[in-house]
Homo-oligomer: A and B are copies of this chain.
Amino acid sequence: MAAPTLRDVAKRANVSIRTVSNVVNGYAPVSDELRARVQAVLDELGYRPNLIARNLKQGRTGMIALVVPELDVPYFAELAREVIKAARTRGYVVMVDQTDGDVERERELLGRDSRATMFDGLLLSPLAVTAEELRGRGNKVPIVLLGEHIFNGSFHHVAIDNVAAAREATAHLLDLGRRRVAAIGDQPYATGETAQLRTAGYRQAHARAGLDVDEGLVVATPHFHRRLGAEAMERLLALPEPPDAVFCYNDLLALGAMRALTRAGRRIPDDVAVVGIDDIEEGQYSTPSLTTIAPDKGEIARTAVDMLLESINGSAATPTETVVPHRLIVRDSTAGEPV
């Protein structure tokens, strides 16, 4: 049996469709008596408003889309959690999609994919899409970018200060007296803007400490997964003069690096200290626990959702860049007892 509509309720209650609608929404004044009668029929038939019809009428859906590279990367999972939570308190639900780092899929979402018409707005954590592509897209769905620092001034955008974060992480290692600090995660090509910002911060920390960077200690990785962290670390350990500390561009790389260190019999942090970025929960329970730069994910999510909703409601016309705070959390991988 099909779901009951306003028409069904109206017929049974002997009132107009419009009145039933008014009772459901509490819009116009309805006498207590009639309201009660209509409500009884609503309950009896188990009426539930058809949101699709309502959306068509109102031109909005109450849904936003969140697009991340990979949902099973802990950072994105934790961020998604916060986004869903923030959206919910504002009456929105979240459609989640992942691009798997596929530029083509990112482009589809912005361009031809008419699926986008179903959402009031889009939160995008871009991997490869460029500013020009974003600018060139025809569709006018409001968009807020997450976690990148590029596209200066062209789009609403929320991120941490990547240069400062990387600088602080590196400085922490230098402050501990380490003098051969490696970096894992550089991406010296067009789509690696974030990585490059972190490399810049790494260099800044050295410069401020009056130290030179040994270019052989800067290892590039095409993505930020555990395996590449482990492989990079193995390569670093094979150097004639291996590092005594390593700054990884995210926690997964760091966890992979720690795994490689443990396997190789190096002690953390005695032989090699390790720092990451992201503060994923896993790093609190790793052995040793991981020192990291913690972006305020809840703040990122709330800010981004607020920006998007403002943008949807037409208020926030000029693109805003918001920098969300981060902080260094020192754990055993730099300051603990050796394991």
Contact = CB atoms under 8 A, between A and B. Distances in A.
B226 A118 contact: no
Contacts of A95: 63, 93-96
A4 B88 CA distance: 31
B281 A226 contact: yes
A140 B3 contact: yes
A49 B114 contact: yes
A71 interface: yes
Contacts of A287: 258-259, 262, 286-287
Size class of A's contact patch?
Answer: 35 or more
Number of copies: 2
A315 to B, nearest CB: 18
Contact of A72 (B53, B74, B285): B74
A98 to B, nearest CB: 6
Interface string A43-57: 000101111110110
A70 interface: yes
A330 B94 CA distance: 38
B117 A285 contact: no
Interface stretch (A32-40, A75-83, A170-178, A303-311): A75-83
A29 interface: no
A49 B117 contact: yes
Contact of A262 (B70, B80, B96, B339): B339
A63 B70 CA distance: 20
A265 to B, nearest CB: 10
Contact of A117 (B3, B74, B139, B339): B3
Contact of A52 (B55, B98, B285): B55
A3 B84 CA distance: 28
Contacts of A281: 72, 226
A122 B228 CA distance: 37
A61 interface: yes
A51 B3 contact: no
Nearest to A139: B48
Contacts of A48: 112, 114, 116-117, 138-139
Given A46-B138, A52-B61, A287-B258, A98 B71 contact: no
A226 B282 CA distance: 9
Given A72-B81, A287-B286, A52 B97 contact: no
Contacts of A117: 3, 48-52
Contact of A230 (B50, B70, B78, B285): B285
Contacts of A285: 226, 230, 255-256, 259
Interface string A189-215: 000000000000000000000000000
A115 interface: yes
A81 B98 contact: yes
A74 B74 contact: yes
A48 to B, nearest CB: 4
Given A72-B74, A84-B98, A95-B95, 9 more contacts: A48-B112, A52-B117, A63-B118, A71-B71, A72-B281, A74-B77, A74-B282, A84-B97, A282-B282
